């Protein structure tokens, strides 16, 4: 397949629909001790034995800090409308009350280059790389961190203003809070039910505090939040309650306070002993209007009650899986989007801000035939099209990821990129999935001339 086939009547063919690629700072930049950057919680976490596969770290990663110009040229050559990336908080505010202009200027070069090439920029303020000096004061378990995040949002948006086309406050607060402070799988590696929910509330409070600041400093930009979401399905008829709870904790917990001004009752009741301290005006702050919601989708979950009444996920061992072991289930993306439109009367425009698959990709004679990923993207683009035809206001799609990179606790063992990276030489090679994406976008551009 040399390009993704879009139905002739698909809104994905219109020039108004945004196609892009996505990355994040710690996963690609490297240069962790250059340009005035200070350590993040991920620099610390990677040094702890057994936390990251092979003891990998982001010290060099894709060396994007030095190779950013060629990477932006590569992105432009794909024909995308937009580039979604994150700013590293440790590059901007190296200590309380100090602003590192060198860090701001690094991202300004990227933003200016994207605009010069006709691409919009979608910038995430927080993609999990909290400055270590804030973690030393409690991190997201400390309510004060929410206010520090607002200060950081002030610095970035005051400097860039409307030059950033689309601002995202947080990427996947579920992962930052629950994998980082509840289950200990991600930085900073803390275990605790109450801790996880406390961190989640402070993250959401930080989002709410930042929103009016972003609107004031960048009134012509769009502002929102990105959540990861896995639609849940019952293992049997008697397990519908397990699936309902899975969705409530997985993503309603983060979307309900933004769109409804309250946390979902299913979670409040089941986790009553672990609820965070919620002050009187907190939910009003979090309920600030948003211009869009970003949805990161990879797979679904199938849930049941076990013999103890606990909810567990049931692996679908007979289904096709990616190299990371995640079930490939495109219908889940359509179902998820339709469920969101049914749940939220005030659902704003939706971006599919991440979607992709890990593969066991090998470069053979200068080519990477990532056949499974090609099919994955084709089927998920079709799923987005079906959701739009069902009335869901999806306005854009970003492939994850632009290139192979540091994949958090998996280190460099998992390759999600459309572009292959040889980590020894830093050579970039377009995989078949990228070539198909490029050809699709070239065809669309011809149609819209």
Tokens of 15: 């020039």
Distance of CA 306 to the CA centre of its chain: 31
Tokens of 405: 């990179």
**R_g over Cα of the chain:** 21
Residues 3 and 5: their CA atoms lie apart, in Å, by: 6
4 token code pair: 């993704």
Closest CA to 407 of 294, 298, 250: 298
In the set 135, 172, 247, 327, the catalytic residue is 172
Q: Which residues contact 71 (CB under 8 A, 6 or more apart)?
A: 62, 64, 402, 403, 428
CA atoms within 13 Å, Cβ hemisphere of 306: 6
CB–CB of 303/246 below 8 Å? yes
Look up 280 and say whether it is catalytic.
Answer: no
**Non-local CB neighbours of 364 within 8 Å, separated by 6+ positions:** none
Provide the β-strand partners of residue 124: 86, 168
Q: Which residues of 383-418 are buried (b: 16+ CB within 10 A; e: fewer)?
A: bbbbbbeeebebebbbbbbbbbbbbbbbbbebbbbb
d(CA 386, CA 10): 9
- How, if at all, do strands 394-400 and 350-354 pair? parallel
Binding residues for substrate: 27, 127, 171, 298, 400, 407-408
- Catalytic-residue membership of 105: no
Strand pairing class (427-430; 419-422): antiparallel
Catalytic residue among 247, 327, 354, 386: 354
3-state DSSP percent of the chain in helix, strand and coil, to 5: 45, 20, 40
CA distance 153 to 263: 24
Active site residues: 172, 354
């Amino acid at each position: 397949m040399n390009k993704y086939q879009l139905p002739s009547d698909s809104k994905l063919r219109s020039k108004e629909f945004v196609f892009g690629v996505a990355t994040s700072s710690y996963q690609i930049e490297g240069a962790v001790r250059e340009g005035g950057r200070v350590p993040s919680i991920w620099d610390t976490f990677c040094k702890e034995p057994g936390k990251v596969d092979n003891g990998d770290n982001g010290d060099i990663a894709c060396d994007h800090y030095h190779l950013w110009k060629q990477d932006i040229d590569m992105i432009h050559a794909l024909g995308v409308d937009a580039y979604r990336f994150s700013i590293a908080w440790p590059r901007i505010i190296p200590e309380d009350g100090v602003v590192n202009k060198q860090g701001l200027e690094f991202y300004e070069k990227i933003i200016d280059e994207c605009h010069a090439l006709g691409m919009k920029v979608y910038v995430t303020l927080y993609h999990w790389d909290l400055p270590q000096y804030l973690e030393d004061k409690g991190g997201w378990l400390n309510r004060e961190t929410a206010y520090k995040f607002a200060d950081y949002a002030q610095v970035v948006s005051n400097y860039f203003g409307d030059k950033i086309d689309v601002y995202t406050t947080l990427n996947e607060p579920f992962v930052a809070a629950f994998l980082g402070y509840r289950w200990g799988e991600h930085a900073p590696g803390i275990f605790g039910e109450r801790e996880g929910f406390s961190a989640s509330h402070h993250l959401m409070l930080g989002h709410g505090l930042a929103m009016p600041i972003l609107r004031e400093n960048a009134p012509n930009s769009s502002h929102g939040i990105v959540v990861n979401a896995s639609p849940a399905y019952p293992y049997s008829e008697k397990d519908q309650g397990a699936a309902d709870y899975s969705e409530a904790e997985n993503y309603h917990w983060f979307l309900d306070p933004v769109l409804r001004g309250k946390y979902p009752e299913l979670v409040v009741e089941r986790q009553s002993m672990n609820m965070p301290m919620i002050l009187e005006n907190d939910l009003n702050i979090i309920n600030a209007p948003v211009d869009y919601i970003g949805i990161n989708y990879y797979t679904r979950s199938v849930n049941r009650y076990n013999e103890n009444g606990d909810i567990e996920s049931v692996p679908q061992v007979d289904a096709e899986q990616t190299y990371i072991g995640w079930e490939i289930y495109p219908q889940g993306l359509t179902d998820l989007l339709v469920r969101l439109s049914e749940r939220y009367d005030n659902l704003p425009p939706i971006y599919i801000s991440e979607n992709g698959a890990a593969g066991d990709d090998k470069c053979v004679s200068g080519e990477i035939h990532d056949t499974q990923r090609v099919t994955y993207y084709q089927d998920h683009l079709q799923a987005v099209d079906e959701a739009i035809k069902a009335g869901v206001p999806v306005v854009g799609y970003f492939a994850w990821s632009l290139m192979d990179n540091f994949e958090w606790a998996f280190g460099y063992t998992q390759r999600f990129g459309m572009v292959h990276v040889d980590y020894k030489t830093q050579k970039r090679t377009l995989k078949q999935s990228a070539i198909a994406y490029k050809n699709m976008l070239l065809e669309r551009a011809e149609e819209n001339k």
